[in-house]
Chain A
Amino acid sequence: MRGLAVFISDIRNCKSKEAEIKRINKELANIRSKFKGDKALDGYSKKKYVCKLLFIFLLGHDIDFGHMEAVNLLSSNKYTEKQIGYLFISVLVNSNSELIRLINNAIKNDLSSRNPTFMCLALHCIANVGSREMAEAFAGEIPRILVAGDTMDSVKQSAALCLLRLYKTSPDLVLMGEWTSRVVHLLNDQHMGVVTAAISLITCLSQKNPDEFKTCVSLAVSRLSRIVSSASTDLQDYTYYFVPAPWLSCKLLRLLQCYPPPEDGAVKGRLVECLETILNKAQEPPKSKKVQHSNAKNAILFEAISLIIHYDSEPNLLVRACNQLGQFLQHRETNLRYLALESMCTLASSEFSHEAVKTHIETVINALKTERDVSVRQRAADLLYAMCDRSNAKQIVAEMLSYLETADYSIREEMVLKVAILAEKYAVDYSWYVDTILNLIRIAGDYVSEEVWYRVIQIVINRDDVQGYAAKTVFEALQAPACHENMVKVGGYILGEFGNLIAGDPRSSPLVQFNLLHSKFHLCSVPTRALLLSAYIKFINLFPETKSTIQEVLRSDSQIRNSDVELQQRAVEYLKLSSIASTDVLATVLEEMPPFPERESSILAKLKKKKGPGAVSVNELEEGKREGGELNGGGERGGDSSAIASTPSPSADLLGLRAGPPVTAAAPSAGSLLVDVFSEAGVNDDGFLRFVCKNNGVLFENQLLQIGIKSEYRQNLGRMYLFYGNKTSVQFVTFTTTVTCPGDTLVLEPLIEGGAQVQQVINIECLTDFSDAPLLNIKFRYGGALQNLTLKLPVTINKFFQPTEMASHDFFQRWKQLSLPQQEAQKIFKANHAMDTEVLKAKLLGLGMALLENVDPNPENFVCAGVIQTKAQQVGSLLRLEPNAQAQMYRLTVRSSKDTVSKRLCELLAEQF
């Protein structure tokens, strides 16, 4: 086509972009006039013009005409014209429905033409466009072509992929029918091309309808075994550089990954044999020095390893796979190192091979340091993250931190998140955690997102054993002449809360602290300045001696007349507050922040979002939570764990479960480490709080599992029945539950009842009063993935109440007796539910105390009395609830002979009304 060649040469000779556009516009005008002209164009010219249009399109110019001509071409009887018409339509897909209708007509003709070339062209077009209209028109026809006995192989191949495309775009239109079983049998087809095409279709269909296509497993295994055991010359043209049918082998191994290991012993044996052969071949000397040979061989090997990891049931194969990958880690081919790191990442989550993967830690760290290719370094970082556990966390985090200093910009943010997560998840002592995060801010401050620094503050606030250390560390970090704004934020917040803990040292006296913070003030952005202003007012409360200095700062024009409304308002309000409020009021208003409630980390969620679904498994999230929860409670993991199989266990064994060592009294409320003010309320807590005033109900429910609870209490003893309901149709394997109790306060004895329904009984004995709920950890495997779940068991101190009736006189006498300030706990809170008297009464009764009538002079108020029975002692408690319907508020006052009990009851009840 000379015209085309001339045009292309013209374009290539254009000296400037403008000249090129000019030439293209000229050509477009020419083609347009030719298409519109009266003179009928012959096939050759039409083809020439369409080719020109394709070329123009490839250069990035929109083509908005020529579709009609293309439809004319593809309706022609000549191959040349038809082919170019279809090509145009598949490259320049247009969703104009009028046009699609015309195209559909032509396709229909070609499909019924019995000319294989035309049929293939038509099928290609459907597969390329894949629109809804096409699916509607052809979804019924194509399966017929695919399984018809007289269809030629090349057409079958196209039909299989065409059907796959339609199934992907409009699964509702592709109806399963009798053809499905015949499609599965295409795996047995003699023509390897047909198998190649069909296997993509079967894989996709099996993923969506595993049961209907189950028979493909044995067929795939036998096909695979025939290929693997064939000599390299047997498959003729499908042998690629001495490797028999590598592409098809990979696809067969992928298909098998849609299913669990075959149940049929013979099939499984054959498959294991195949996998072993593949692993053996890797050790044989290569049949060719060409890179293509080793490529093809290793493509199969990596798929085989993926399958082994997917099955996760053959320790022998897993170890071999791990060793093989270990060899590849040091291979001179970069591609193989990359893939080995990637595969090892999945291997690290298998319990059989986690330890084996860990032995390669030095190699992986070395890869992170020395690989020239950022893709490979990133895989190494991923693998370090995956293989991290408590034993190597310090080493890995240190390596990642040092890598961060030189890391590529593209992966810094992700690295920061990973370091933050690992540091939190595996923190044994929190000073290490604080150091790590502050280092993180120092090294890569720009990449530390809000989630990360929010988190470190939450953790410091919730753990008073680390507060002093944190204050000291940030104070030192702020000494640096240039420090990152995120550091100033963390520093401002922490010194504002806990600066008093280091104020004793003259080197960090209140004024020194203030001056240090204020020296950074002018370099910071508005939000940070606002935070610092709040820190200053907190200083006034903590250190009255700084009051005049700070007031002066607040009074300065640059604050009180700041053009930013927020800053100005803060300056004005804080100044006023500090000058008119009494010390007491100031102390109340500026009290230390209360601990944050337990929430799930949003850093993980962020990493998940960043990496896309699938990158961080739900497992990991759950695991993070569990690890944290465990740490927090301060208690060790409970002594024994009891196993519940999803099938009834033959011996209902009685396992004693003792709680871990007691928590130090100073520890803040348990399980409050993994807190996050910014994420939504943790579901588990909600479930837990619902049970304060009732004993039966559903504790937890997700797509897989439902847990119901029934419980009864008498004196200081209780019994709890947990009912586990499997909501799926698949068995849960290795279902284990562990109950841990923080502190030596409760004795929990889980028993397992055999029987059809899986039910667990827990006997409870209350030794002394407590505020931390026991934790129930549940682990099981569902479809190969480990599920891990930690719930708070709704055992609360009020469950051991014994109601006490008494007259008004007695009540007030006792009320007065409990007059020590620490014996009383009071809370004023907003009503969460309607203030219905009957509902309130029912709730108070559910609490377990006696509801006393005619005691309080105000009939609107409720008073209750009860005695908490523990093994160690009895704790008498009195309660008064004063609703204020107008303000929709309550005042709740609890007095009891033990201060911790008052406090805990008050906390529990405040959430109920």
Chain B
Amino acid sequence: MIKAILIFNNHGKPRLSKFYEHYTEDTEQQIIRETFHLVSKRDENVCNFLEGGLLIGGSENKLIYRHYATLYFVFCVDSSESELGILDLIQVFVETLDKCFENVCELDLIFHMDKVHNILAEMVMGGMVLETNMSEIITQAEAHNKMEKSEAGIAGAPARAVSAVKNMNLPEMPKNINIGDISIKVPNLPSFK
């Protein structure tokens, strides 16, 4: 299980924190600081795994992290997860962010926190991995974006409200329409011979 996902920059400023177990706000902040302290003092080119800090369960848990330019992406996981698998997952997460934000940078995470949370929610739910397929995640995220835009349209221009309402469900529809009969999932069919 993934216990927590933390993103902070080279100075330890948190850019995203998502805990899948309950801690008090205070403890959460301490965990972020402790994790930053553990991870930031490590050289580049050492391994990407280390034992968790005391606050998050010590050696029962592992911190698996990657350092991209100014940001650290840290996943705190228990022993039921594959270390290399989680590294791949971090890569998928970052590549997805990169596609959604077109060359993601630290500022994107700061100013679009809600979007980052949404993308993450498409991948991980309650500490377990929901989806690893990047194009599926991006499709979902884009659908949500479109929905958002169409709703903004309603608010901004009441005159166009009627037509917008008609179209409102469209962004999510393609998926629905495709799956009029749920057993038919066209893109994946060839894989099952």
Contacts and interface: CB of A to CB of B under 8 A. Distances in A.
Interface string A371-388: 011011010000000000
Given A79-B148, A124-B125, A190-B189, A373 B47 contact: yes
B132 interface: yes
B131 interface: yes
Interface in B17-45: 17-18, 20, 22, 25, 29, 32, 42-43, 45
A236 B190 contact: yes
Nearest to B135: A237
Contacts of A150: 182
B14 A59 contact: yes
Given A58-B14, A237-B134, A200 B51 contact: no
B152 A612 contact: no
Interface stretch (A157-165, A651-659, A809-817): A157-165
Contact of B151 (A8, A78, A200): A78
Interface in B112-146: 113-114, 117-118, 121, 125-136, 140, 143-144
B14 A375 contact: no
Contact of B84 (A191, A203, A302): A302
Interface in A177-226: 190-193, 196-197, 200, 203, 226
Given A164-B126, A247-B132, A299-B85, A376 B47 contact: yes
Nearest to B91: A292
Contacts of B89: 247
A841 to B, nearest CB: 56
Interface residues of B, number: 72
B170 interface: no
A234 B130 contact: no
Given A153-B182, A236-B188, A292-B91, A375 B130 contact: no
B88 A372 contact: no
Most chain A CB neighbours (cut-off 10 Å) among B47, B59, B91, B118: B47
B98 interface: no
Contact of A612 (B58, B114, B132): B58
B42 A197 contact: no
A70 to B, nearest CB: 13
A536 B90 CA distance: 64
A53 B179 CA distance: 38
Contacts of B55: none
Given A59-B14, A153-B182, A164-B126, A83 B144 contact: yes
A152 B179 contact: yes
Contacts, number: 203
B174 interface: no
Contacts of B131: 157, 193, 196-197
Contacts of A334: 45-47
Contacts of A842: none
Nearest to B24: A62
Contacts of A51: 113-114
Given A79-B147, A372-B46, A295 B88 contact: yes
Given A84-B114, A158-B125, A292-B91, A240 B132 contact: yes
Contacts of A58: 14-17, 113
Interface size range on A against B: 35 or more
A237 B128 contact: no
B87 to A, nearest CB: 6
Given A58-B14, A295-B88, A200 B82 contact: no
Nearest to A149: B182
A235 interface: yes
A161 B128 contact: yes
Contact of A117 (B42, B51, B147): B147
Contact of A200 (B32, B129, B155): B129
Nearest to A303: B82
Contacts of A250: 82, 85
A393 interface: no
B88 A164 contact: no
Given A116-B172, A117-B172, A334-B46, A246 B144 contact: no
A246 B85 contact: yes
Interface in A248-270: 248, 250, 254
Contact of A128 (B85, B126, B135, B188): B126
A190 B181 CA distance: 13
Nearest to A11: B110
A43 interface: yes
Nearest to B79: A614
A309 B175 CA distance: 43
B99 interface: no
Nearest to A148: B182
A737 interface: no
A127 B42 CA distance: 34
B191 interface: yes
A375 B51 contact: yes
A643 interface: no
Interface in A539-571: none
A151 interface: yes
Contacts of A164: 126, 128
A873 interface: no
Given A87-B114, A193-B136, A237-B136, A339 B83 contact: yes
A298 interface: yes
Nearest to A151: B182
A334 to B, nearest CB: 4
B126 A296 contact: no
Nearest to A301: B84
A334 B190 CA distance: 38
A295 B90 CA distance: 12
A751 to B, nearest CB: 45
B128 A234 contact: no
Contacts of B91: 292, 295
A60 interface: yes
A154 B84 contact: no
A713 interface: no
Contacts of B152: 44, 80
Contacts of B60: 612
Contacts of B151: 43, 78-80
Given A338-B49, A615-B59, A240 B88 contact: yes
Contacts of B10: none
Given A152-B179, A190-B189, A338 B47 contact: yes
B88 A246 contact: yes
B185 interface: yes
B103 interface: no
Nearest to A245: B132
A4 interface: yes
Nearest to B14: A58
Contacts of B127: 165
B59 A154 contact: no
A116 B176 contact: yes
A203 B79 CA distance: 14
Nearest to A254: B80
B163 interface: no
Given A91-B117, A196-B131, 8 more contacts: A80-B152, A83-B118, A87-B114, A116-B172, A230-B191, A234-B190, A238-B133, A247-B129
Interface of A: 4-5, 8, 12, 42-44, 47, 51, 54-55, 57-60, 62, 78-80, 83-84, 87, 91, 93, 116-117, 123-124, 127-128, 130, 149-154, 157-158, 161-162, 164-165, 190-193, 196-197, 200, 203, 226, 230, 234-238, 240, 246-248, 250, 254, 292, 295-296, 298-299, 302-303, 334-335, 337-339, 372-373, 375-376, 378, 611-612, 615
6 contacts: A87-B118, A117-B143, A238-B133, A247-B89, A335-B87, A376-B47
Interface of B: 14-18, 20, 22, 25, 29, 32, 42-43, 45-51, 58-60, 80, 82-85, 87-89, 91-92, 110-111, 113-114, 117-118, 121, 125-136, 140, 143-144, 147-148, 151-152, 155, 172, 175-176, 179, 182-183, 185, 187-192
Return the 9 tightest CB-CB contacts between A and B, nearest first.
A127-B126, A299-B84, A373-B46, A165-B126, A334-B47, A60-B29, A200-B128, A338-B47, A250-B82
